A and B are shown apart, each in its own frame.
Chain A
Amino acid sequence: MKNLDPQLVWAFSGVLGLLTVSSLLGWAIKLAVKRPEAQATIGNLNARIGAWWVMSAIFGLTLAVGQIGSLVLFGMMSLLALREYVTLLPTRRADHRTLFWSFFIFTPAQYFLIGIHWYGLFAILVPVYAFLFIPTRLALAGDTESFLQRAATIQWGLMVCIYCLSYAPALLMLKIPGYGPDAKLLLYLVLVDQLSDVLQYVWGKLLGKHKIAPVVSPNKTWEGFIGGVATATLIGTALWWMTPFSPAAAALVSLSITLMGFAGGLTMSAIKRDRGVKDYGTLIRGHGGILDRMDSMCFAAPVFFHFVRYFYVR
């Protein structure tokens, strides 16, 4: 329980306060709005808030357990995300053993490397070794139909679902002079990233008119994007006290988290539209699958990690 430092407890209490207010608001809106056409949206809103309680409880518990808790949590999320990804994409019979390697060798290895703080191999395992292994194993399987497309599809899934997502718990292996525990940094990333998603959704629902990319993601509007990015950046700046950053640096970092998060959401939506589905899965009530929730994190985490590592780790 060494992770229960006062700032961490404060930040997490803030999350619980926010959830309580959201639940009360959701309940009030449900009572106030009687229009039948709004009922579906409100039902979905309240399902989302309910799921947020569960997700926050799980995340809070794993943070309290320490590094191993976060590694197991993100490792499981990586596996579930990769599962949603490959289910959606066309794979062939000959891909079977390569996929087995991806799930049960590369994924545990990636998180194990974080556990033993081997940064050098962590950073190249998927981009170098998986990249070379996957086409080799596919070639050995002997099926050349759409060969490059299949290799690229699997490699891309590993990059996004395993490699990029693993950068979030990798924050725990950074040694920042005069700052600790690193769990605060992970909580900060998750808070700003997820609040950015939520606030873009809220601003979009309240004011959204002008669609950014109607074909790719019909729910993303300029009003939601600007409002969400601005408010999430403000909150991220106001939370500078739980980070090693100055307020100005916190503003810059928060802005990059929100912009990368937006890029992730848009990219992962493009894949969904191409495959003709609305969501990656049904695991999280009201939200869809793990990948629908973590798409922004997959893109934001690596950039955040390298920013911190470059400027704050000596």
Chain B
Amino acid sequence: MSAQLLAGMIAAAARLISGVQVQWVDSEPEPSQAVYFANHSSHLDFVVLWSSLPAEIRALARPVAAQDYWSAGLRHALAVNVFRAVLVARHAAPGGQEPADPRLAIEQMVEGMGDRESLILFPEGTRGTGEEVAAFKSGLYYLCQRRPGLRLVPAYLNNLNRILPKGEVLPVPFISRLTFGPAMALEAGESKAVFLARAREAVCRLRDL
């Protein structure tokens, strides 16, 4: 089976299980290069966001995933062949290993994007309970520094934490909601803290729209 066909089937299944209702608030899907970033509370977050992008945008959108988690077996095959994941070394891998050099991950992302591909990124770095959006890690800021003018599209995923919360294997079919907001970018001279807070706020304000 071709990877494309499999990808299409996985996208259809993800939309069915999550019953996702997609809305673009003050924005519309654009095929130009972008980083889609969202809150993170479930293993399904990526696949639901990815499957909700229009097909031509989805074909050029690659998830950023932790190398240590996606490094072996079926997971690895799926990540590499179907989702074309950009596998990056985590700042601090679980298990007390030496933290990887954050600059390495940024270079891996820049390389993965080339000049036309988009990324899907969860800047909280790890899954939360779904109640609060945690502070963003600084990767998004360094990525924007490396690629000035990069278009950033915020998104909020509702109810994914109820469908498949952290620590569960079997999903319960709630209806989920995915809201995209207007694109933003790193402004000239904007400090890291100000930018990350602004990016987080851009995600949070979509929560109840």
Interface residues of A (CB under 8 A from B): 79, 83-84, 86-87, 91, 93, 96-97, 99-100, 103-104, 281-282
Contacts and interface: CB of A to CB of B under 8 A. Distances in A.
Interface SS of chain B: helix, strand, loop or mixed?
A: loop
B21 interface: yes
Indicate the member of A84, A87, A103 with the most B CB atoms within 10 Å.
A87
B168 A96 contact: yes
Contacts of A93: 129, 165
Closest 4 CB pairs of A and B: A87-B175, A99-B172, A87-B174, A83-B173
B159 interface: yes
Contacts of A86: 172, 174
17 contacts: A79-B173, A83-B173, A86-B172, A86-B174, A87-B175, A91-B162, A96-B162, A96-B165, A96-B168, A97-B168, A97-B170, A100-B171, A100-B172, A103-B172, A103-B173, A104-B170, A281-B175
Interface SS of chain A: helix, strand, loop or mixed?
A: helix
A96 B159 CA distance: 12
Nearest to A82: B173
Interface in B130-173: 159, 162, 165, 168, 170-173
B21 A96 contact: no
B175 A84 contact: yes
Indicate the member of A97, A100, A282 with the most B CB atoms within 10 Å.
A100
Contacts of B54: none
Nearest to B177: A87
Contacts of A96: 162, 165, 168, 172
A94 to B, nearest CB: 10
A83 B21 contact: no
Contacts of B129: 93
